Structure 1
Amino acid sequence: MDVEFEDLTYRIEQKSLYRKCPAKTILKSVSGRFRAGELSAILGPSGAGKSSLLNVISGYVSNEGIEGKLKVNGQSRDEKLFRKMSCYIMQEDLLQPLLTLQEVMLFAAELKLPSDTPKKDKLKLIHEIQSMLGLSECRHTRTESLSGGQKKRLSIAVELINNPPVLFLDEPTSGLDNVSTTSCLKLLRNLAHQGRTIVCTIHQPSATLFSFFDNVYVLAVGQCIYQGATEQLVPFLSSVGLKCPTHYNPADYVIELTEDEENIAILSSATNNGKHTRFKSITQVPGTDQISNGNIPTRNLDMEVMSHNLVLSYMGRKGEGKGCVNMSVSCWYQFLTLYQRMTLQLLRNKIGLKIQFYHHLMCGLAVGIVFMGKSNDGTQFFNHMKFCMGVILFHTYTQCMVQVLLFPTEVKLLKKEYFNQWYGLRPYFLALQLSKAPFLIFFSLIFLVLVYFMSGLPVEWERFTLFCTVGILVCFTAEGMGLFIGSIFI
């Protein structure tokens, strides 16, 4: 599936409280095409617009400030359908740290594959992907204990479950050592040579790593200065009088050329800002290599992508595209799966559970000692008021601050999975609240029971029930307030 763009311009508004600022142009009427069956790199110096271009063509940013045409196989693309047929893998490996590799992939399969798919078929697919990516030996290891290279391969593995024909990756080699980087790029090349369109940004690769890419798209100050096969880059530079020195890394050399505005103008003019390309013709799907630590040829696995005609038929459909690559499941099934995943993570967070238990226990004892036997004395009105305010403030501060600190990190994972069409927002937030509810109620009751009886309140079932109910409702309200405040800092 070829991803194309013509005269693409991207501007962002610069906000200021004191004066109106002009919009900043990130991409300046660039054109290009990333072809199926090839691994393509977006290369350029810092601030060239690499990530912006990737975000725009993947649909990760809103359409505000975007001008130009986005196409698939020469046709205008439907954004909703395109999102179901593609995936975006971020630079940061966002995974559930307390789940094992096998559990992460199984939950992903439950969310991404039709709910009527037999469990044994899902497990078979998971094992095939693990074998293909060299993850079989660590399938029972928690993700927090995986190496950087294994985390990156796992991030790719969970998106391969529904077999999307288009993959976008932002700096996939960032933070990896040479061995892991080489393994990652070999894997991506093998996946691309199966017929997928894989596009990734990369910053100054070595000559060896640069050779893994079939095509390269070079940006400088928002303009395209080269698009075509990697082996054609040096001849292209020579044709415009910019000869690359012998035994010099072409990737380093082309980035060094961008330091001179005159060179940028020459190269941008020669490529017509991306409209002139130097692609090599595709006569057959290239062969595949062995993954360095997997030793299993990817071509031998049943991981073929959709045919050209089938892609066109999907892109021409209207509606929700139920038959598209990313098969949806019911909201109820999404909720059950997410609830199970979140509950499992909470139960395994033993340190967090212990901290909450002792926090509520010690605070309950402290408040109970301060108001020991004073809450049943009708002459102590101000003590009653201070007692009630203290209980409310404790619950409000505790539950609110926990969400303020934790929710921004949770949202990063939510944004990635929601954008890649794993689930909807309603089942996610419903599962989030209900999975935390039993723990919230249990810890709140520890505090409420202690302060109620230590303060000397009447031992009456109705009053005790009302006291605990109000306290728990305050907890839920404070938790919602914390989610709201935490979302501001995202």
Structure 2
Amino acid sequence: MLGADDNNKNDATTVKMLDDSCRIQLCESEKLEMEGPEKERKSQLCIEFDDLSYSIYHNGIKKTILRDVTGHFEPGKVTVIIGPSGAGKTTLLKIISGERWLNVDGTVAVNGVERNRGTFRKQMCYVPQQFALLPFLTTRETLYIAARLKLDVKRSEQMIARLIVNEIAESLGLSGCLDTLANRLSGGERKRLSIGVEMITKPSVFLLDEPTSGLDSAASNQLINVLHNMARTNCTVICAIHQPSSQMISQFDNIMVLDRGRCMYCGPKNEILNTYEYAGFTCPRFYNIAEFVLEVITEQRGGDLESLYKICRSEYEKPKSRHKHPKNEMDSETTCSKQKIERDDVYTFENNTKQKLSTWQQQKILLLRALICIKRDSTMTILRFSAHVIVALLLGAVFYNFGNDAQKVNSNIACLFFLLLFLFFANSMPAVQMFPTEAAVFLQEHLNNWYSLRSYYSIKILTDLPMQILCSSSFLLISYYVTGQPMESDRVLRAWSVCVLMTILGQTVGILTGSAFNTEIGVFLIPALSIPLLLFAGFFLKIGEMSIYLRPLSFMSFFRYGFEGMMQAIYGLDRPNLYCSEIYCYLHSPSAILSMMNMPTVSFYVILIILSCWIFCLHIIVYAVLCWKIYYARK
């Protein structure tokens, strides 16, 4: 008996050791599976929403877009949202993504827990119908830079270029246009590229608005197959499609029908016809399901839509309990599995969160992208530089050798004032036309967690600076020499510093106007707001001759400080008397010229500080406007 007991104990000990060994190996295998780049397991996110309602006010009239929409999107499946134009498909996607939340009633839950917008947005990607791309990047460069911004910084460039970029390009049929600029891609290729840049991180939730628009049937089917492959990795895929074909609709797992803001069905695709037949709508054999459903909800087939709505809502409520967030597929009694289930239940999605790059790492990648775009946009760069050179030569021809002639002082002062005007408007107008496109790309990428505003705007300022200095320097040096201004290094340096600051100031005003308004309004606002400031610059009306009530307004004009800085640079610093070909010239003394213009009012270095403060304050306002745009877009 004792021997038998000992044997039983030994057997139990052996079984226990084998059990522990198996458990350890299972834990390690799960860990390796989680770490594998190709088999990265995601947290399964089941999205449930109850009684979602959304309204907007237009001209004081309330317009309801969504009315008590209830449904769910399951992980591991591809769900299609269909409905006529204006049914609320795009609005629903924006609400689910967290991009729109103002005036939204109802609840959105993820895995049974109320959604946290900040956390959820790190786990999802939303591809809008109109996706902005930088025009001077090729398909390869667009995918590569997106991968660098989204993935682990430790991954080698060769791995990103060869594995990730080529894999996505091949899966989306973009291999033949990898070296084509984005502005030369067809509409379908641009659509597939916009989807590809968001597929890089393999998000847990993938929302697409009209992903097949502009694609032929073969490309559409290829895209749906790619989305099915994503769904197999526990991704929740939702597509809003206006009217899918029979072949396309057969590839979706679940279907949701929207009509005038109401949900007319949400569930498995193979049960929708039974539900509609129960409501009195019978689909003919071999008929496109999507076309039949659209004909029903647009009242082309007759019948009671209110009854259909109630039946669909009732049928959805019955099995609602079985749509709760799924348990982990590897549900077992092991410690590793228990911990994994607990992590899913508390909605802490750490396994597949996008790699967070530091500000410096983001800036390096954005600098690379900006330099590529500047190099490719050679036409605009050459035109901008050429315009400064040509106008400088024209200015020199008109005011040739006026700088040291006492009889032509007034004309020379006009030349100095015109110089500042050209630098301001020649740099503000292009900026207001170009920046809205850049801002649209930034806003889209920032909302999808590519990089921070601080990284983007710092690189924007840095990359603009060389061209600003080059253009202003070439313009000043040519016009300064040809118009016969005094060739003294101190004077040239002072005039150059004022011109560079006015150039930066002009471009900053253009960026501010372009970020706050669209191009059409910005082109109107810059002259409309700048011309009043010109009145208080001290050229048309001297500061001392202004009304005492209007004089304080001159302190708000940056043109005043730029103009006075140029006057002090040219006629200050104890300059000797000007050349006079007549017996007597009243304005042959530089001090008399400054006295006639009621200058100086402040010292030259104070002028530089004031212009620098103007630039700094305008950049702060631009940054605040971009922050507001981000905040407003998330509403």
TM-score for both structures, normalised by structure 1: 0.86
Q: How does 1:449-464 map to 2 (within 5 A)?
A: 449-464=477-492
**Any gaps of 5 or more consecutive residues in structure 2?**
1-44, 324-336, 519-635
Q: How does 1:143-292 map to 2 (within 5 A)?
A: 143-260=182-299, 263-272=304-313, 275-276=316-317
Structure 1 residues 379 and 69: CA distance shift in structure 2, 3 A: same
User: Shift in Å at residue 308 of structure 1?
Assistant: 12
User: Shift in Å at residue 324 of structure 1?
Assistant: 5.5
Matched, 1:86 2:124: yes
Would you say the 8 A contact 2:93–2:209 is kept in 1? Answer: yes
User: What is the distance in 2 between the residues matched to 1:104 and 1:400?
Assistant: 28
Q: How does 1:38-77 map to 2 (within 5 A)?
A: 38-61=77-100, 63-77=101-115
Listed one character per residue, the Cα deviations across residues 104-161 of structure 1 (whole Å, up to 9, x for unaligned) are 2221122112323343443433343334434444433333344443333322222222
The structure with the larger Rg is 2
Would you say the 8 A contact 1:7–1:30 is kept in 2? Answer: yes
Listed one character per residue, the Cα deviations across residues 71-116 of structure 1 (whole Å, up to 9, x for unaligned) are 1111112211111111111222422332232222221122112323
1:27 to 60, 66, 70: 66
Matched, 1:12 2:42: no
Matched to 2:276, the amino acid is L
Highest RCO, 1 vs 2 (Cα 8 Å, sep ≥ 6): 1
Question: Which residue of structure 1 lines up, in the alignment, with residue 154 of structure 2?
Answer: 116
Matched to 1:210, the amino acid is I
User: Shift in Å at residue 312 of structure 1?
Assistant: 6.8
User: What is the distance in 1 between the residues matched to 2:95 and 2:502?
Assistant: 43
1:426 to 443, 449, 454: 454
User: What is the distance in 2 between the residues matched to 1:174 and 1:277?
Assistant: 35
Question: Which residue of structure 2 lines up, in the alignment, with residue 342 of structure 1?
Answer: 370
Structure 1 residues 277 and 138: CA distance shift in structure 2, 3 A: farther
Question: Which residue of structure 2 lines up, in the alignment, with residue 411 of structure 1?
Answer: 439
User: Shift in Å at residue 48 of structure 1?
Assistant: 0.9
Mean Cα displacement is larger for which, 153-162 or 266-275? 266-275
Structure 1 residues 84 and 323: CA distance shift in structure 2, 3 A: same
User: What is the distance in 1 between the residues matched to 2:51 and 2:315?
Assistant: 9
1:396 to 421, 424, 436: 424
Question: Which residue of structure 2 lines up, in the alignment, with residue 386 of structure 1?
Answer: 414
User: What is the distance in 1 between the residues matched to 2:216 and 2:465?
Assistant: 42
Higher helix share: 2
SS in 2 for 1:48: coil
Would you say the 8 A contact 2:208–2:240 is kept in 1? Answer: yes
Structure 1 residues 310 and 482: CA distance shift in structure 2, 3 A: farther
Structure 1 residues 411 and 278: CA distance shift in structure 2, 3 A: farther
Question: Which residue of structure 2 lines up, in the alignment, with residue 294 of structure 1?
Answer: none
Structure 1 residues 273 and 114: CA distance shift in structure 2, 3 A: farther
Matched, 1:141 2:180: yes
User: What is the distance in 1 between the residues matched to 2:146 and 2:392?
Assistant: 41
Matched to 1:55, the amino acid is K
Would you say the 8 A contact 2:393–2:478 is kept in 1? Answer: yes
Question: Which residue of structure 2 lines up, in the alignment, with residue 313 of structure 1?
Answer: 343
SS in 2 for 1:442: helix
Matched, 1:480 2:524: no
User: Shift in Å at residue 476 of structure 1?
Assistant: 1.1
User: Shift in Å at residue 386 of structure 1?
Assistant: 2.1
Mean Cα displacement is larger for which, 419-428 or 246-255? 246-255
User: Shift in Å at residue 424 of structure 1?
Assistant: 0.3
SS in 2 for 1:216: strand
User: What is the distance in 2 between the residues matched to 1:342 and 1:353?
Assistant: 13
User: Shift in Å at residue 379 of structure 1?
Assistant: 4.3
Matched, 1:362 2:390: yes
Matched residues, number: 458
User: What is the distance in 2 between the residues matched to 1:479 and 1:312?
Assistant: 53
User: What is the distance in 2 between the residues matched to 1:194 and 1:82?
Assistant: 18
Matched, 1:2 2:39: no
Matched, 1:330 2:358: yes
Matched to 1:109, the amino acid is A
User: What is the distance in 2 between the residues matched to 1:467 and 1:456?
Assistant: 14
User: Shift in Å at residue 184 of structure 1?
Assistant: 2.0
Task: Indicate the RMSD between aligned Cα atoms, in angstroms.
Answer: 2.7
Structure 1 residues 323 and 80: CA distance shift in structure 2, 3 A: farther
Mean Cα displacement is larger for which, 108-117 or 23-32? 108-117
Would you say the 8 A contact 2:132–2:441 is kept in 1? Answer: yes
Structure 1 residues 326 and 263: CA distance shift in structure 2, 3 A: farther
Mean Cα displacement is larger for which, 354-363 or 48-57? 354-363
User: What is the distance in 1 between the residues matched to 2:251 and 2:285?
Assistant: 20
Matched to 1:364, the amino acid is A
Matched to 2:46, the amino acid is D
**Any gaps of 5 or more consecutive residues in structure 1?**
283-306
Identity score, percent: 34
Would you say the 8 A contact 1:77–1:315 is kept in 2? Answer: no
Structure 1 residues 476 and 273: CA distance shift in structure 2, 3 A: farther
User: Shift in Å at residue 375 of structure 1?
Assistant: 3.2
SS in 2 for 1:68: strand
User: What is the distance in 2 between the residues matched to 1:81 and 1:444?
Assistant: 46
SS in 1 for 2:206: strand
